[in-house]
Amino acid sequence: MGAVIASLFAVFAVLFGSTGAMAAPLAPATTSVTAGTSNAAAAAVVVTSADGKNYVIGTDTTFAPFEFRDSSGEMTGIDMDLIRAIAEDQGFTVEIRSLGFNAALQALSSNQVDGVIAGMSITDERKKIYDFSEPYFESGVQMAIAQNDTEITGYESLKGKTVVAKTGSEGETYAKSIAEQYGFTVQSLDQSATMYESVKSGNAVAVFDDYPVLAYGIAQGNGLKTVTDKVPGGSYGFAVNKGQNPELLAAFNDGLAKMKADGSYQALLDKYLAEPKNTSGGSFFDLLGQSLPALMKGLGNTLLVTGISFIFAMILGLIFGFMKISQNIVLRGIATTFVNIFRGTPLLVWAFFFYFGIPQITGQPVSIWVAGVLTLALNSGAYVAEIVRGGIQSVDPGQLEAARSLGLGYGKSMQRVVVPQAFKIMTPSLINQLIIMLKDSSLLLAIGFAELLYQAQQIYAANFRVTEVLIIVAVIYFIAIFLLTKLANYADRKYNR
């Protein structure tokens, strides 16, 4: 509780206090997440070594053959093998965070990760905010359409149509650069799997993605084909935040050079590019069996984050709920402001703010659990405050008067007479709020929190079986919420009668 209040104060201090920090939120923070050099000017000079350190590396969810999950759910691919081999050679360890491409870049900007390897193209724009390694793979953008599409023969056929591209990617930049000329609309999605699914289902006519990835997918039989030439450009590089972790970048370059020299880099490429494995086979029950362990882990996180957040939401709700009915105008004002702020702003804004915003302003990374719990607890706390206020106010005022006339003080009358009755009235709404919160917790996937829907995305991003995986997830949510409701109603009957 103390920690939450302290963090709350920190947030408000940031919001209403130091305008200096707000004025330059994009300036690279000078504090390093790990023990690197804190002097940005010395970035070019390697003063420490990466040896013995552990680095958090952000990556895309799926960008096969560069990063994807194998059948056992492990992140694999060229990028993954490359960073692990270099880590081993250079004596550091890595912790991979599969966040999605755009989220990985945001996490790098906010120092939530130390580096990004995600088939990330080295561009002049990006060089302004990140430091890149030597290039390790030639790439560029290409367009792909559904295999059975005979209408689209080139960019000219795109007039009036919608195409998809990945948020924040080079494919998106390229598609947007020619959109006006050819008269099409660009819709941005976060994942390769959903982009391809969009095209196959006819929601979009084409996808703009990197050609090595399209070629790999097409060879795997993902149902797409290409009809236009590739647009050359953009080699892939490993990135760190500008001026941060120079020793990691140096170690990467050194390891890469060694691997190129002794042929192990070529062997790594051959391993993935020679014979793309078709991963999309198997019956529904195979899929269920394979995905259940990861989904159960996700469900565990969903329940845990919901449970913890609900406790904090109740505490906040009780405090602010009572403040709302207080005689004191200042307390009422504070409570009303709290409720208005958190009820009047989307949950996702706060998730991004706590996870990406705060670290960018303060230079201090925020744990994903802290960000997740703060987001859910503050949002729900506002609703619980209103439930508490409503519950207390709906107890007949005569009850309080009667208690007082029997000689009980205000506090005792509230505690013994009003609150127990109010609690009974509030219970159904509180159960409702708990269920809403459980469902809302799925939004935390946007910051890479490994809850149930996030795990599902990771799975269909790898095997492209979007519909089936979503059906499984919906059933799991339904059962979980059904059981939770039964349990809550049982407790309600037992203790509130």
Q: Considering the rule CB under 6 A, would residue 118 count as an interface residue with ligand GLN?
A: yes
CB of 233 to ligand GLN, least distance (A): 10
Q: Considering the rule CB under 6 A, would residue 121 count as an interface residue with ligand GLN?
A: yes
Report the DSSP pairing between strands 93-98 and 75-76: unpaired
CB of 103 to ligand GLN, least distance (A): 11
CB of 250 to ligand GLN, least distance (A): 22
Residue type, 126: R
**Which of residues 235 and 421 has its CB atom nearest to ligand GLN in the complex?**
235
> Looking at 60, 79, 131, 247, which residue binds ligand GLN (CB under 6 A)?
60
**Which of residues 372 and 448 has its CB atom nearest to ligand GLN in the complex?**
448
Please list every residue from 91 through 110 that binds ligand GLN, using CB under 6 A.
Answer: 101
Helix (H), strand (E) at residue 472: helix 466-496
Decide: 416 and 408 in contact? Cβ < 8 Å: yes
Residue with tokens 């000219």: 156
Q: Considering the rule CB under 6 A, would residue 389 count as an interface residue with ligand GLN?
A: no
Q: Considering the rule CB under 6 A, would residue 58 count as an interface residue with ligand GLN?
A: no
Q: Considering the rule CB under 6 A, would residue 120 count as an interface residue with ligand GLN?
A: yes
> Looking at 53, 69, 97, 166, which residue binds ligand GLN (CB under 6 A)?
166
Distance CA 411, CA 409 (A): 6
CB of 66 to ligand GLN, least distance (A): 7
CB of 295 to ligand GLN, least distance (A): 24
Q: Considering the rule CB under 6 A, would residue 131 count as an interface residue with ligand GLN?
A: no
**Which of residues 96 and 120 has its CB atom nearest to ligand GLN in the complex?**
120
Residue with tokens 């960018």: 360
**Sign of the alpha-carbon torsion through 316, 317, 323, 324:** positive
**Which of residues 36 and 140 has its CB atom nearest to ligand GLN in the complex?**
140
Q: Which stretch binds ligand GLN (CB under 6 A): 11-19, 25-33, 115-123, 395-403?
A: 115-123
**Which of residues 169 and 455 has its CB atom nearest to ligand GLN in the complex?**
169
By three-state DSSP, how is residue 150 classified? coil
Query: CB under 8 Å, gap of 24 or more: what pairs does 465-474 form?
Result: 465/280, 465/287, 466/193, 466/194, 466/197, 468/284, 468/287, 469/287, 469/291, 472/287, 472/288, 472/291, 472/295, 473/295
What is the 3-state secondary structure of 42-62? Answer: HHHCCCCCCCCCEEEEEECCC
Number of continuous H segments (helices) and E segments (strands) in the chain: 20, 13
- In sequence order, the β-bridge partners of residue 208 are 143, 165
DSSP assignment of 451-466 equals -HHHHHHHHHHHH--H
Q: Considering the rule CB under 6 A, would residue 170 count as an interface residue with ligand GLN?
A: yes
Compute how many other C-beta atoms are within 10 angstroms of the C-beta atom of residue 103. Answer: 26
- In sequence order, the β-bridge partners of residue 94 are 55
Q: Considering the rule CB under 6 A, would residue 114 count as an interface residue with ligand GLN?
A: no
**Which of residues 102 and 379 has its CB atom nearest to ligand GLN in the complex?**
102
Decide: 195 and 165 in contact? Cβ < 8 Å: yes
Count the site residues for ligand GLN by CB under 6 A. Answer: 12
Please list every residue from 210 through 249 that binds ligand GLN, using CB under 6 A.
Answer: 210
> Looking at 65, 115, 119, 359, which residue binds ligand GLN (CB under 6 A)?
119
Who contacts 429 (Cβ-Cβ below 8 Å, separation ≥6)?
A: 387, 390, 391
φ, ψ dihedrals at 227, nearest 5°: -130, -10
**Which of residues 139 and 309 has its CB atom nearest to ligand GLN in the complex?**
139
Q: Which stretch binds ligand GLN (CB under 6 A): 164-172, 215-223, 246-254, 442-450?
A: 164-172
By three-state DSSP, how is residue 187 classified? strand
Who contacts 175 (Cβ-Cβ below 8 Å, separation ≥6)?
A: 141, 163, 165, 186, 208
**Which of residues 171 and 298 has its CB atom nearest to ligand GLN in the complex?**
171
CB of 462 to ligand GLN, least distance (A): 14
CB of 171 to ligand GLN, least distance (A): 6
Q: Considering the rule CB under 6 A, would residue 174 count as an interface residue with ligand GLN?
A: no
**Which of residues 232 and 307 has its CB atom nearest to ligand GLN in the complex?**
232
CB of 196 to ligand GLN, least distance (A): 12
- Residues contributing to the site for ligand GLN (CB under 6 A): 60, 63, 101, 118-121, 139, 166, 169-170, 210
